Amino acid sequence: MATRDQPLDADGTRARRLRLEDVAAAIGMSPSSVSLALSDRPGPSEETRRRVREAADRLGYRPDRTARLLARRRTRLLGVMLDIRSPFHAELVEDLHQASEGRGYDLVLSTVTAGRDERRAVDALLDFRCEAVILLGPAVSVSQLGALSRQLPVVVIGKQTGADIDVVRAADDLGVAQAVDHLVGLRHRDIAFVDAGKGPIASLRRRGYRTAMRRNGLTGSVRVVPGGLDERAGAQAAHALLESPELPTAVVAYNDMCAVGLQDAFSRAGVGVPEQVSIVGYDNSTLARLAHIDLTSVDQDAEQLAAHAVQVAADRLENGRGAAEEFVLTPHLVVRGSTGPAATA
Amino acid sequence: MATRDQPLDADGTRARRLRLEDVAAAIGMSPSSVSLALSDRPGPSEETRRRVREAADRLGYRPDRTARLLARRRTRLLGVMLDIRSPFHAELVEDLHQASEGRGYDLVLSTVTAGRDERRAVDALLDFRCEAVILLGPAVSVSQLGALSRQLPVVVIGKQTGADIDVVRAADDLGVAQAVDHLVGLRHRDIAFVDAGKGPIASLRRRGYRTAMRRNGLTGSVRVVPGGLDERAGAQAAHALLESPELPTAVVAYNDMCAVGLQDAFSRAGVGVPEQVSIVGYDNSTLARLAHIDLTSVDQDAEQLAAHAVQVAADRLENGRGAAEEFVLTPHLVVRGSTGPAATA
DNA sequence: GCTTGGATTTCAAGCGCTTGAATTCCCTGT
DNA sequence: ACAGGGAATTCAAGCGCTTGAAATCCAAGC
């Protein structure tokens, strides 16, 4: 092989990585014994294990994962597809690391970006020989999901898919219901909901709103305002509300961005938050936590979502396939300064 | 091997991955020929190449990267250590993908989190047999960096390290200088700087401020206010300024978060932004771009930083080691609504 | 004293792919 | 008609590790 085909070491010399054989030579035993000792399997005597550990440590030996994975049939690698720009995904990844570590799996991350669609991101994961993949809020089609799940276990976090695939998600309807209940507890009755079209998530949240209003005997006050996912949409919704005959005393927004848009538009119009209008967001994003935004918001509990997802993936790998399951976790409301008692007229 | 040691396929059957041999058999040739054809090296005839491609496509063959990497000496893998919660890192990763693709390298991501320090994040990268690592804003010690760079090429993005290592960063002093010049162009003379302690980055920005003020003949108006990296620190700085004998007409903040804190504290105190005080942030983060924050800010040009970093890493791998270099790119100011003409007294 | 069997250790055959060297094939040139 | 030679193909030896099977060791049992 040509010299230039081999990466150079930092100082320009050839790298000579330590092999299992070197450790074996150091203690005068066979590579097999060392291998067995290092992976804690029966065979080697206690004395041998000790010497192997000592030598490996002393020499700074690190097994070559590539070779190991080729020889073993398993990689114990879970692939995670995410959007690296999403703070919510960031949180999930943190928790996924924690959860997978506990079960002896490693994670490999692959992000979707402008020039890198979901298909490519997943292909990269497959190239690493992941045994299962966890998809964070994928937009991929049902048929593609189906095809993928025929190759390896697939777990989707965050939304229903329509495909026959394991899903772990938060109960969005209950989340919104909690927001409504919180507001009702503060004596609000005129509570509006700012919507975001007809995606599966939006529908669920809207339904949660309607149901909660009805349960609180407020069917007459139901008001769904068209909105969207971003700030601008929130601001527009705020203007629509400002121009309506009567301003609601509280608004539940589709998500935090939208809520911030509302918050800002109201402030600019001289409407005090929460003095005149209380606002609740959704996602409990870092945005909501900023001191001057200080938004009451619904938290999806990333930690639990992550823990469940890893659990499901590991189960599939270890116990084979049963029917696809859907795990629906209950989110919880984080109360901050954007909600307060209803202004009594 | 016990059955349960092998991951099950999605449908519970044993997975039987397609091998090179299968493709070879399909067209009645040897694995060698197929291997050569698939990796575009001299040997196989045009006709053979065509047939190989066709068969590989038809069968849906994907080379086993693990085996390939074991056989080749190179992985063509660049490791990236990042903090997944940082929007700036997210941007860099996007651009790193783009840049590395162009040079035929793949990326493997490893994030630092609460329970996963830099050492572990880098170890994970080494386990994947990365040939070089790119560290985004590492906090690791100089000695550890040195040790790492003895194992493989290391490129740091974002800050000077003090170690003998390649660095790619934006000229923070020039960035702040641009902010000052912009404000001077708007006839501001009383321009304060909100600081963030004594880190290398903070020092550089502070120096940039001082130098630019001097160059504009405003040495007498230099005012450095202690601040910090977050919103709260910005708000505190704003209060300090409000209580000072004279309010500056413009403030350059250490970063966007800090700027947002200032912005908010001023608004609450009834001081108009930018009517009475103009504010400039640093990072051009997504925060700065939010419509209602709309912050003039300094952009570090992630795209260029990323492109350079990949270039440097690839050069080290392909041409060996020379003296460590520092690449300093010029950032640029993005003007938005938080800056305006100085109020003429 | 020699077999027996459990505990250790080692052997050797891969895992799926790459690649220098060897082989085969098919023309040319004489 | 046949040696010579370049192109195309195949052989075979790994890459560094795992692991079922074989070999070795040693103390107990008859």
Residues A283, A320: one domain?
no
Q: Are A232 and A196 in contact (CB under 8 A)?
A: no
Contacts of B21 by beta carbon, 8 Å cutoff, 6+ apart: B31
Task: Give every CB contact of residue B250 below 8 A, 6+ residues apart in sequence.
Answer: B183, B186, B188, B190, B191, B192, B277, B278, B279, B280, B339, B342
* Contact between chains at B10 and A153 (C-beta distance less than 8 A): yes
- Evaluate whether residue A36 is within a structural domain: yes
Per-residue pLDDT tens digits for B175-206 = 999 999 999 999 999 999 999 988 888 999 99
* Location of structure tokens 């919507």: A195
pLDDT tens digits for range A162-205 = 888 999 999 999 999 999 999 999 999 999 999 998 888 899 99
CB contact under 8 A, B73 and A1: yes
Residue A70 lies in a domain: no
Nearest CA in chain A to B152: A10
Contacts (Cβ under 8 Å, ≥6 apart) of B314 = B103, B105, B132
**Would residue A335 count as lying in a domain?**
no
Q: Cα separation of B156 and A140, whole Å?
A: 35
Domain co-membership, B186 together with B281: yes
pLDDT tens for A303-317 read 999 999 999 999 998
Would you say residue A28 has pLDDT above 80?
Answer: yes
Contacts (Cβ under 8 Å, ≥6 apart) of A49: A37
* pLDDT mean over A267-273: 90
Does position A67 have pLDDT exceeding 50, yes or no?
Answer: yes
Q: Is residue A25 part of a domain?
A: yes
Q: Are residues A285 and A205 in the same domain?
A: yes
Would you state the torsion angle of the CA atoms of residues B99, B102, B108, B112, taken in this order, to the nearest 10 degrees?
Answer: 0
B185 and B169 Cβ atoms separated by less than 8 Å: no
The minimal CB distance from A126 to the residues B62, B70, B321 is found for B62
Question: Which CATH number does the domain housing residue A15 bear?
Answer: 1.10.260.40
Token reading at A275:
């003095």
Mark whether A145 and A262 lie in a shared domain. Answer: no
Q: Is residue A84 part of a domain?
A: yes
Token output for A150: 């025929």
Residue A340 lies in a domain: no
- Tell me which nucleotides of strand D come within 7 A of a protein CB: 7-12, 14-20
> Above pLDDT 70, what percent of chain A?
95
Say if B321 is an interface residue toward chain A (CB within 8 Å): yes
B156 and B110 part of one domain: yes
**A160 plus A179 within the same structural domain:** no
Helix runs in B60-86, H state only: 65-71
Looking at the DSSP assignment, which residues form a beta bridge with residue A107? Answer: A78
pLDDT at position B3, please? 31
Residues in B closer than 8 angstroms to A268, CB to CB, are 292
Per-residue pLDDT at B8 = 53
Residues 213-242 in A contacting B (C-alpha not used; CB under 8 Å):
231-232, 235
> What pLDDT does A163 receive?
84
Residue with tokens 């959860």: A99
Q: Are B322 and B182 found together in one domain?
A: no
Distance separating alpha carbons of residues B62 and B14, to the nearest angstrom = 18
Classify strands A250-253 and B106-111 as parallel, antiparallel or unpaired: unpaired
Instruction: Please report the pLDDT score of residue B185 as a whole number.
Output: 97
Q: Are residues A283 and A307 in the same domain?
A: no
Euclidean distance between CA atoms B67 and B319, whole angstroms:
26
- Cβ of A85 under 8 Å from any chain B Cβ? yes
Q: Is A343 inside any structural domain?
A: no
Chain A, 87 to 146: residues with Cβ < 8 Å from chain B are 87, 89-91, 93-94, 97-98, 101, 106, 108-111, 113-116, 124, 126-129, 131-132
Mean pLDDT for chain A? 91
- Which residue minimizes Cα–C1' distance to C14? A71
CB-based contact A48:A33 (threshold 8 Å): yes
Q: Which residues of B fall within a CB distance of 8 Å from A66? A: 66, 69-70, 75, 129
Q: How many domains does chain A have?
A: 3
pLDDT at A275: 95
B208 plus B288 within the same structural domain: yes
Work out whether strand B132-136 and strand B77-82 pair parallel, antiparallel, or are unpaired: parallel
Q: What is the pLDDT at residue B318?
A: 84
What does the pLDDT look like over A35-45, one tens digit per residue?
A: 999 998 888 98
For the CA atoms of B39, B44, B45, B50, what is the dihedral angle to 10 degrees? -40
B74–A6: do the CB atoms touch at under 8 Å? yes
Note whether B339 and B186 are within 8 A (CB). Answer: yes
Q: How far apart are CA B119 and CA B147, in angstroms?
A: 12
Q: What is the pLDDT of residue A56?
A: 92
Please tell me the pTM assigned to this model.
0.86
C-alpha distance from residue B274 to each of A260, B223, B242 (Å): 21, 19, 15
Domain that holds residue A202: 172-300
The greatest distance separating any two alpha carbons of chain A, rounded to the nearest whole angstrom, comes to 89
For residue range A321-340, what is the model confidence (pLDDT) as tens digits?
788 999 999 999 999 999 99
Is B339 within the bounds of a domain? no
Same domain? B91 vs B3: no
The CATH number of whichever domain residue B104 belongs to comes to: 3.40.50.2300
Amino acid letter for position B262: L
**Could you tell me the pLDDT band of residue A9, with boundaries at 50, 70 and 90?**
low
CB nearest to A84's CB, from B67, B90, B131: B90
Torsion of CA A172, A110, A148, A323, to 10 degrees: -40
What SS3 state is found at A266? helix
| Rounded-to-integer distance, Cα B146 and Cα B165, Å | 8
Minimal C-alpha gap between A218 and chain B (Å): 33
| Residue B319: per-residue pLDDT | 83
One domain, residues A258 and A203: yes
CA of A216 to C1' of D13 (A): 77
Taking contacts as CB-CB distances below 8 angstroms, the residues of chain B near A9 are: 151-152, 321
Q: Which of B18, B83, B84 to mutate to test the interface with A (most CBs of A within 10 A)?
A: B84
CB contacts < 8 A, A to B, total: 178
Mean pLDDT (10-residue bins), chain B, 345 residues: 42 66 92 93 90 92 90 90 92 96 92 94 92 93 90 91 91 97 97 92 95 97 94 94 96 95 91 95 91 92 96 89 90 96 80
Shared domain for B213 and B270, answered yes or no, is yes
The confidence band for A75, taking pLDDT boundaries of 50, 70 and 90, is confident
